[in-house]
Amino acid sequence: MKAIVQDGYGSPDVLKLREVDRPVVADHEVLVRVHAASLNARDWHIMRGDPYLARLAFGLGGPKARIRGTDFAGRVEAVGRSVTRFRPGDEVFGEADGAFAEYVCAPDNVVEPKPAGLSFEQAAAMPLAGNTALIGLRDLGRVGPGQQVLINGASGGVGTFAVQIAKALGAEVTGVCSTRNLELVGSMGADHLIDYTQEDFTRNGRQYDVVFDLVGNRSLTECRRALTPEGRLVLSGGGVSEGGSLVGPMGLIIKGKAMSPFVRHRLLVLTAKPAKENLAALREFAESGKLTPVIDRTYPLSEVPDAIGYLEVEHARAKVVVTV
C-alpha cells in the first residue's frame, strides 16, 4: 500500500510517499481502508521533533511510528477475531497512528460508526480535534447552560469544534481570533468576537467562567485576569509554533501544574486520550446539527508534505484534510 513515511526529523521534505506492507489486523483491531485523513498540530510536532523534550516520547533519533497521520475515516476491510462491533463494509471514523496511508489498523475501542450525513472528509476532521475540544469543555471546564466561556484560538482546528461544543452545552461563547477569521468564528455560533490584533482579552475587564486556551501565547497571570473568582483555565498544548525550542508550549503546561495548588482559580491541563465514547458523543452532536466540521483545504495523499507546509506557514483555518 502507499503511505507517508518519516525516517528522521526535519522539514516537510522528510515525509516520503512509499510502498509499504499493508498492516495485519490483530485480535482487537479493525483494518480500515482509508478514504480521508486529517492533519493536526501533532503531525507537525512529530515531523519536526519539536519541542526537543518531546523526542523522549516520539523517539530520540526519529519517530517510533514511521507512518504519519492520526485521524481517519473510511470503510472496514477486515476485523480481528475478538471484534464484534464492526464488520467489513462498515463506514467508520477514529484515531490511530498511521492514518496517512491507504489502510490503517486501529483498536476497536477508538473507532466508531461514521456520523450519518457527513462525508468521509468531514468525519476525518473530527476525532483528535473534536475529542480535545470535548474533553476541555465538558470534562475539565464543566461547561453548562448560562456560563461565560472564552476560547483563545477559536478559528483553529480545535477552536472551531470548541465554539460549537460550548454552544451545544448551553454556554455564551466569546471567540478570540485574527481579523480575517472573525466571520468564520461568528458563523460557528460565537456570541461575541474579539480580534486579538485590536483588543487584548486579558485587559478589557471582562471575566469568564471558563477560559479555554488553545494558543499558549499568554502567561498564566494574564489568562487568570480574564477569569471570574471561581473560574477555570483549561490549558491545551497550543498549535504549530516557530519551532526549535526545548519545551515549547509544554512550558506553560508545566507552569500551570506547578502553580495550580497555590491559586484560587482551577488551572487544568488537558490530556486528550482517544475513546469510542467521545467519538460517539461527537457523532451525536453532528447528527443533531449542533456540530459541523469546517475544512479549510484538501490535498491528495501524495501532497501531504505540501499540506503540512501549509499548516506550518499559513496558520490554516479549521481543518486541513487529506483524501486517499
Domain boundaries, the chain: 2-125+293-323, 129-269
Contact 166, 140 (CB under 8 A): no
Q: Three-class SS of residue 194? A: strand
Q: Do domains 2-125+293-323 and 129-269 have the same CATH topology?
A: yes
130: confidence class by pLDDT, cuts 50, 70, 90: very high
Torsional sign, CA 294, 170, 233, 176: positive
Distance CA 232, CA 266 (A): 5
- Domain 129-269: CATH class, spelled out: alpha beta
Helices (H) and strands (E) counted in the chain, each on its own, are 10, 15
Mean pLDDT of 124-142: 97
The fold of the 2-125+293-323 domain, in CATH, is Quinone Oxidoreductase; Chain A, domain 1 (3.90.180)
155: confidence class by pLDDT, cuts 50, 70, 90: very high
131 pLDDT more than 80: yes
The pTM of this model reads 0.90
